[in-house]
Amino acid sequence: MYRRLHLTNAAGRDAVVSMSVVPHESSPRLGLRNRPVAFRRYVVATDATTPAALESRLGASYADALVEGDPEIDLESVGRTVGGTTAIHLSSRGEVLHRAPTVVESIVGPDGVERERRPPVDTPANIHDEQPLRWTGRMMPRRELARRFTFRRTLQIFHIDGLTYDFLHAMAKQLDEADSAVLLGAGPRGADPLVFEGNGRPYRGFLTGRLDPADPARYRLLLHLSDMELKAPPPELLTP
């Protein structure tokens, strides 16, 4: 399925093009020769046979009860196939909550320490026809890009007519000759991350381009989406 994308080039000219997810090879299928694997879910324990429930009920004799018998096994329930299920919310005491709890965002720093708690903020999508993605001019060699970032998704950008072909082909040629990727930004100044849907994950977008050596008229433009930069830990953490 193709989706529209409003994009600017290095000269600040903009055009509406198409994009789609890059097709990938299907994952290996699990199973024996000519026999696929069927996954099933089974009941392992009930509320009355969890370690916390047994410890509360048996007290100091919990360990002796485990040695002398099998109080953790409910012979009437264990091993039964689990069909369709419905998710429920439980309190810290294991009680069913009949109303969804209030969601709170926890902001955690790079060191893993919680910095802030706040009500969730609605983030609108900023990938639309009205506001184009900006060519920021911040270039990065492709080799360095592969070492510094992890990528969640990759989108391929296509032309939709002759004018957008020239527009995208020139971008791919410029990036291929520089052997680099360019950072794309959203917002009026191109300083915002890319958000494809409301309250979606914000991404950094890196555009790479190549021309086909056998046929330079053919090009490929890929938009790599990253939400994680790989950084070396502080020196004090590396000291044994």
All structural domains of the chain with their residue ranges: 3-23+123-229, 42-82
Specify the pLDDT at position 239: 63
Q: Flag whether pLDDT at 55 surpasses 90.
A: no
Structure tokens at 76: 């009437």
At which residue do the structure tokens 């050596």 appear?
213
Q: If phi over 0 gives left and psi between -120 and 50 gives alpha, with beta otherwise, what is residue 199?
A: left
| Angle subtended at Cα 87 by Cα 84 and Cα 90, rounded to the nearest 5 degrees | 140
Would you tell me how many other CB atoms lie within 10 Å of the CB of residue 208? 20
Question: Predicted confidence band at 7 (pLDDT cuts at 50, 70, 90)?
Answer: very high
Unique residue bearing structure tokens 């005491």 = 93
The pLDDT assigned to 85 comes to: 83
- Mean pLDDT in residue range 166-178: 97
Find how far residue 72's CA is from the centre of its chain: 38
Answer yes or no: is pLDDT of 173 > 90. Answer: yes
Give the lowest-confidence range in 73-87, 127-141, 218-232: 73-87
Displacement of CA 171 from its chain's centroid (Å): 27
| Mean pLDDT to the nearest integer, 119-141 | 90
Give the model's confidence band at 121: pLDDT under 50 very low, under 70 low, under 90 confident, else very high.
Answer: confident
How confident is the model at residue 237, as a pLDDT?
65
Question: What CA–CA distance (Å, rounded) separates 139 from 127?
Answer: 21
Residue 232: pLDDT above 80?
no
pLDDT > 80? residue 1: no
Q: Give per-residue pLDDT as tens, 132-147.
A: 999 999 999 999 999 9
pLDDT mean across residues, the chain: 88
Read off the amino acid at residue 224: H
Average pLDDT over residues 93-113: 84
The matching CATH number, chosen from 2.60.120, 3.40.47, 2.60.40, 2.40.290, for 3-23+123-229 is 2.40.290
pLDDT digits (tens, 9 = 90+) for 174-201: 999 999 999 999 998 899 999 999 888 9
Please name which of 234, 180, 184 lies closest in space to residue 209, comparing C-alpha atoms.
180
Task: Quote the pLDDT of residue 195.
Answer: 94
Q: How confident is the model at residue 66 (pLDDT cuts 50, 70, 90)?
A: confident
